Structure formats: C-alpha cells, structure tokens
Amino acid sequence: MAQEKRRADAVGTPDEKAKPPMREKIQAEVLVVGGGTGGTAAALQAARRGAKTVLVSEFAWLGGMLTSAGVSAPDGNELIAFQSGIWAAFLTALSRQQPGGLDHGWVSFFTYEPALGAQIFREWVAQLPNLHWIWGQTPRALIRQGEQVMGVEFDRVTVHAWVTLDGTELGDLLALGNVPYRWGWEDQGEFQEPSAPLGPAQTPPLYPVQAPTWVVVLRDWGAREMAAAIPPAPGFDEALFQGAWAGHGAEAFLNYGRLPGGQFMINWPICGNDYGTGLDRLVSADRHTFLQECLWHSQNFAHWIQSQLGRRYGLAENSFPSSRPGLGGGAYGLHPYYRESRRLQGLSTLTEQDLLPGPGHQAAPLAAATIGLGNYVNDHHYPGLTWPLASKTLRWGGRATGTPFTVPYYCLVPAAVDGLLVCEKNISVTHIANGATRLQPVVLGIGQAAGMAAALCVENRCQPRQLSVRQLQLALVQEPTAPAALVPLFNCPPQHPDWSTWQMYYLDHPEVYPGDGNAPCAPSLPQGGGLSFKGQFCRRGEQDYALVSPGQTLKLVTLDPAVHQALLTYGDGETMAGWGRINRSGNWLLVTALA
C-alpha cells in the first residue's frame, strides 16, 4: 500500500490529471501578446501613455529580431532624419553602452551584442510600474464575444483587456481567433503590383513566404587558440554551402555582420543559413519540425564555415541564454529571424505601389493616415531563387539607400473584428510589399503607433476603427519620451528646431508633400562627434566620394543632411577636414561634421 501511495502522489490520481491547470485571471486595459520588436515597442508606448498594460512573451528576452533572434545589425531608417521614436532612443542607448561603439560590420551602421539590446528593453520595461511583463507563456485561445476580442488564454494565465495587440512572430492570434488573414503571394490581378506574378501559375510553389534564418554567432578565438569543433547536424550536405562567399572573400563574409569583441553574426543569404524547405509547416501543427530543421541547417553552415576557415573560428557560446531542449540558445538565437508571417486582412492594405516613388521623385506619396515610416529597399529571401522587384533605391550621402515610404494606421486594424490591433510583420500588407515593411526599425515604429493607439482607445473608450487618426498622429509627434516622425523629410531631422512644425504641416496637407522629400526649411546643423580627419576629397562618380590621406583611402559616407549637402559642393582634389568615425569592415569614413 505504501508503495502505491507514493506512486499516486508522484503522478496524481486520474481525476487530478484530467483537471486543466488553474489559470490566474488578470484584468488589463491593454494586452500585448509577443515580446518581439513590435510587441515590446507597443507595450512600452501604451504604458508610457498611462494605460494599465500586460505584456506576455514566450522568451525571457524582449526585442525579437533585434535581440532574441540575433539580428543585431538592423537595416533601414539609418539616415538621421529617419531615426526617431523608440528606434532613435534604442540607438542612443546602444551607442552609450556598447563598448567599442557600433561601427563594426558593413551590412549595417549599427552592430551590437544581442544581450545588450535585451538588457536595454528589460530596463525600460522595469521603469514602468503600470507595465506587467509575464514571460514563458504561449497563447492558447483568443477570447471573443461575437466580433469583439476580449482577451487571451495562455498556458497558466488568462488576461482580459479593452484592446489586445497581436505582436507574435507569426501572427498566431489571427489564427487562434479566426481573424481573416493572408498567407502567401498575391498575383497582379488582385492588387496590380508591378512585381507580383502575372497569375497563380507563375507563383513560386516552394516559397509561399520569405525564408527565415536561424542566426548563429561565431567568435574569433585568436591565432593561438583552437575553438571547440562544431559537429554536423542531421542532413549535412556541404554542396549546399559551396560558393557562400564567392565574389566577396572569407574576410568580407565574416565582416558582413561583425559584432564587438571579435564576434560575427551569421545571417547570410548566399548559399548560407536562410532555410525555406516546407514553409507551410510554420502555420501548421508541424511547426516544431520545421524549427528543428532550420536550426540544424544553421548548425551545418557553422560546421562548414569552420571546416573552411579552421578552428580559430568557433561558436560564441554565451551570446544567448539557454532555451528549451532541442532549440536555440548559447551561440544560436532563441528563435529564427522570421521575415514574414500571417498578414492581417485590414481596413486597408499596403501594396507595392504605396512604397514606390513617382517618376523623378525620391519619396513615395504620403499616406494621409501615416503612423510610421521606412526607407529600406524591397528585399526578398528565397534560397536559390531571385525574384525581380521594382527598384526603390537612390544615391544619398555617398551611398545607395532606399526611398522612403509611410505606413497607414488602417493597416493595423482588422476589417471586421473589434478590440484587436496588430503590431508586427502581421500588418495588412501584401507579400511583395512585406519585403520593405518587415525591417526592424519599421516594426518598432509600427509597434509604437499600435501601443499609442491602444492607450488612446482606452482613454476614449472607443474601438480601434473609431479612433481619430489625427489624435493618434499628434500624440506620436508630441510623445514626450520618444517623439516619432510620421513624415519622411530628408533635410529636417528630429533635432531640427522646426521639425514638429513641418511634421504637422504635411500631416495637415498630405497632398502637397514634396516628391523629393525635402521641406522648405532652414538647413539643419550637423550632429558632429567622432575623430578629426583631414585629406584630399576625391569625386569618383555620382554620390561616390573618397578621402585620400597618407597611407589610406576611405570611402566617404554620411547619414547627416547638412553633411550630405556639403559633400555635393566639394571639388575633386579639394582639401577637406572634419569629424567622423571609421568602419574598417566597410572601409568607410562616416562623416558627422565638416570643418
């Protein structure tokens, strides 16, 4: 009997096992589900506005793409004029706290250790007493009463709220709540997008969405040390990786995502660790199998890199905390870098035409309901497949960048369901346009706008579809902690004394927004900073500059509008001096001010 009693105590009686675990019930005003890039920004902004906010995440790190997925080399919104809101605050915190600065890799102007990004977000959340963060929970059901979302059931907690925000990486609340969404391509017959397939028969069958990447961080252990061997994972095939750095060279390949401390972010699209086999499994019960294969693919790429470059290079084991068995952690991100998710069917849909500038212009038309902006090129990832896309690039500041565009509020609002907003890559956007809206700074801006909208809905006791867009725009531009730019103006950065005036002017008169993206304002003052330099200016082509000084030639680039204008006036061979920062991976001098 005693033995049977002990066994019953260990496993529970049949009646006890049949009972579902008791869920704690929480009442909030705003509930944000998902601690990724958009969800973290949304929760911060809703709480800063004063709403009683609950943030529920799966992982112990906040920030998603920027941190837990390991993409600590963000793309887009790099020009000073487009650094605003929580994105600008994040860059400021990184630049102050990252030893060695942010000038390391050549794929981005900002590379940092993922753990530092997670620390910054964690500290910001801790500063807000009305923001309650719960991690380690997965959403299980969306609570609805008819067309009204009331909250979400998780593993061990149920949260009711006036407004719920879907900030999950793959738009999971949309599926749980039967909220209409899109998955896959749209052809030209649906939205007349110039880069869309002509019809269903031309749609690439292997890639319903863009391929994700499971980031791995490698470390240079030095010429005198030998890193631990990286074993191959199931499915290793060295032929998949042959030619990974052809045309670049091994050094440039590593420096692509160079991080501080001799570390390398491996997020490489050419015969690299993008993984696109069986992508429909991401929205099925077989998701875990896809994730395991994706992780193994990245491990196999790391194994192949080490086999080619030697045991000087190994895993940076302390980059991420340990995760669940069989998944990420250590040198591998806690989850993949998802480039695309389920996409809401919203009150409006952002299409490729909304991203493209008109003839002779360098900015797309301004959306009257804009709540955020981006400027990245339209970038799609399909392993082994190149899909032609309409160009949205221009030369500015001595380099190629993307033309700016705006994101309208109604892409965040479901067409038929109340009490719900989206704040990640799950906005109402086409598959083609997602290639430009998915980038980290854009999603931070979307999250900030969604969080502000949710808080305003609480204040006004209204539904998201009823919210005054003008009230939301005004609140974002005047936000006291992190004011957000909603109108792209190359020559009028947030530091300009007339910035808010011109932001509001074009919000009031979107029809007169200039095609060149420049306001008729006084020139801005350069931000300055960095080391002094002096040399000979060399004009090598249109928006292609170099500085020649004894012993070296550096490409000249800038993110500052005042410096950009000055560089246009320099004559070939003219002596120039100023201040800036050198990036050895990109062999450029980032000019911050001229003497």
- Contact call for residues 177 and 422 (beta carbons, < 8 A): no
User: DSSP labels for 418-442?
Assistant: BSEEE-STTSSB-TTTHHHH-SHHH
Share the mean pLDDT of the chain. 94
Structure-model confidence comparison of residues 79 and 8, the more confident one: 79
The pLDDT value recorded for residue 5 is 29
Question: Per the domain annotation, does 573 fall within a domain?
Answer: yes
Q: Is the pLDDT of residue 347 over 70?
A: yes
The pLDDT value recorded for residue 223 is 84
Q: Exposure of 522 by Cβ count < 10 A (0-12 exposed, 13-18 middle, 19+ buried)?
A: exposed
Indicate the residue among 291, 315, 339 that finishes a domain.
Answer: 315
Q: Is the pLDDT of residue 126 over 90?
A: yes
Question: Per the domain annotation, does 76 fall within a domain?
Answer: no
State how many domains the chain has. 2
Give 530-586 pLDDT, tens digit per residue: 999 999 999 999 999 999 999 999 999 999 999 999 999 999 999 999 999 999 999
> Three-state DSSP class for 71?
coil
Give 384-413 pLDDT, tens digit per residue: 999 999 999 999 999 999 999 999 999 999
Question: Per the domain annotation, does 494 fall within a domain?
Answer: no
Give 475-487 pLDDT, tens digit per residue: 999 999 999 999 9
Q: Is the pLDDT of residue 336 over 90?
A: yes
What are the start-end ranges of the E strands in 335-428?
343-344, 370-374, 393-396, 399-402, 405-408, 420-422
Q: Is the pLDDT of residue 19 over 60?
A: no
Indicate the residue among 295, 315, 335 that finishes a domain.
Answer: 315
Cα–Cα distance for residue pair 427/411, rounded to 1 Å? 6
Distances (CA, A) of 190 to 130, 199, 431, 473: 44, 9, 12, 30
Cα–Cα distance for residue pair 41/63, rounded to 1 Å? 8
Amino acid (1-letter code) at residue 506: Y
Tally of CA atoms within 13 A in the half-sphere of 348 that contains its CB: 13
Q: Residue 551 maps to which CATH number?
A: 2.40.50.330
Question: Per the domain annotation, does 552 fall within a domain?
Answer: yes
Give alpha helix (H) positions in 57-128: 85-97, 114-126
Mean per-residue pLDDT, 288-297: 97
Cα–Cα distance for residue pair 39/169, rounded to 1 Å? 9
**Chain-centre distance for alpha carbon 41:** 11
Q: Which residues contact 166 (CB under 8 A, 6 or more apart)?
A: 33, 34, 172, 173, 174, 344, 420, 421, 422, 423, 424, 426
Indicate the residue among 315, 345, 365 that finishes a domain.
Answer: 315
Q: Is the pLDDT of residue 324 over 80?
A: no
> Three-state DSSP class for 575?
strand
The pLDDT value recorded for residue 224 is 83
> Three-state DSSP class for 335?
coil
Q: b/e for 415-435, b at 16 or more Cβ within 10 A?
A: eebbbbbbbbbbbbbbbbbbb
Q: Is the pLDDT of residue 470 over 90?
A: yes
The pLDDT value recorded for residue 22 is 67
Mean per-residue pLDDT, 456-480: 98
The pLDDT value recorded for residue 9 is 29
Percent of the chain clearing pLDDT 90 (strictly above): 94
Distances (CA, A) of 404 to 52, 161, 179, 370, 401: 34, 35, 30, 12, 9
Distances (CA, A) of 570 to 392, 531, 536, 539, 576: 27, 21, 10, 8, 8
For tokens 């890799």, name the residue: 105
Question: Per the domain annotation, does 121 fall within a domain?
Answer: no
Q: At what angle do helices 85-97 and 440-460 cross, to 10 degrees?
A: 130
Q: Is the pLDDT of residue 351 over 90?
A: yes
Phi, psi of 115 (to 5 degrees): -60, -35
Mean per-residue pLDDT, 11-29: 59
Q: Is the pLDDT of residue 432 over 50?
A: yes
Q: What is the CA radius of gyration of the chain?
A: 24
The pLDDT value recorded for residue 17 is 33
Amino acid (1-letter code) at residue 448: Q
Q: Which residues contact 123 (CB under 8 A, 6 or more apart)?
A: none
Q: At what angle do helices 499-508 and 469-477 cross, to 10 degrees?
A: 170
Cα–Cα distance for residue pair 19/7, rounded to 1 Å? 19
Question: Per the domain annotation, does 183 fall within a domain?
Answer: no
Q: Which candidate, 56, 40, 19, places its Cα nearest to that of 122?
A: 40
Give 56-100 pLDDT, tens digit per residue: 999 999 999 999 999 999 999 999 999 999 999 999 999 999 999
The pLDDT value recorded for residue 323 is 67
- Contact call for residues 123 and 93 (beta carbons, < 8 A): no
For tokens 């964690």, name the residue: 122
Amino acid (1-letter code) at residue 356: L
What 8-state DSSP symbol labels residue 332?
B
Cα–Cα distance for residue pair 386/189, rounded to 1 Å? 22
Q: Which domain holds residue 274?
A: 216-315
What residues does 591 pair with on adjacent strands?
580
Cα–Cα distance for residue pair 486/471, rounded to 1 Å? 13
Q: Is the pLDDT of residue 15 over 60?
A: no
Distances (CA, A) of 168 to 139, 276, 343, 443: 9, 20, 11, 12
Task: For strands 544-549 and 420-422, give the pairing.
Answer: unpaired
**Residue 55, Cβ neighbours under 10 Å: how many?**
30
> Three-state DSSP class for 522?
coil
Structure tokens at 373: 């902006």
Amino acid (1-letter code) at residue 127: Q
Q: In this structure, which long-range contacts are made by residues 239-244, counting pairs with CB atoms below 8 Å and at least 24 apart in sequence?
A: 240/271, 240/300, 241/271, 241/272, 241/300, 241/301, 241/304, 241/305, 242/271, 243/270, 243/271, 244/268, 244/270, 244/271, 244/272, 244/301, 244/304, 244/305
**Chain-centre distance for alpha carbon 496:** 26
For tokens 């800036």, name the residue: 580
pLDDT band at 527 (very low <50, low <70, confident <90, very high): confident
Give 446-461 pLDDT, tens digit per residue: 999 999 999 999 999 9
Cα–Cα distance for residue pair 186/192, rounded to 1 Å? 9
Mean per-residue pLDDT, 281-304: 97
For tokens 């032609």, name the residue: 388
The pLDDT value recorded for residue 20 is 47
What residues does 78 pair with on adjacent strands?
none
The pLDDT value recorded for residue 21 is 55
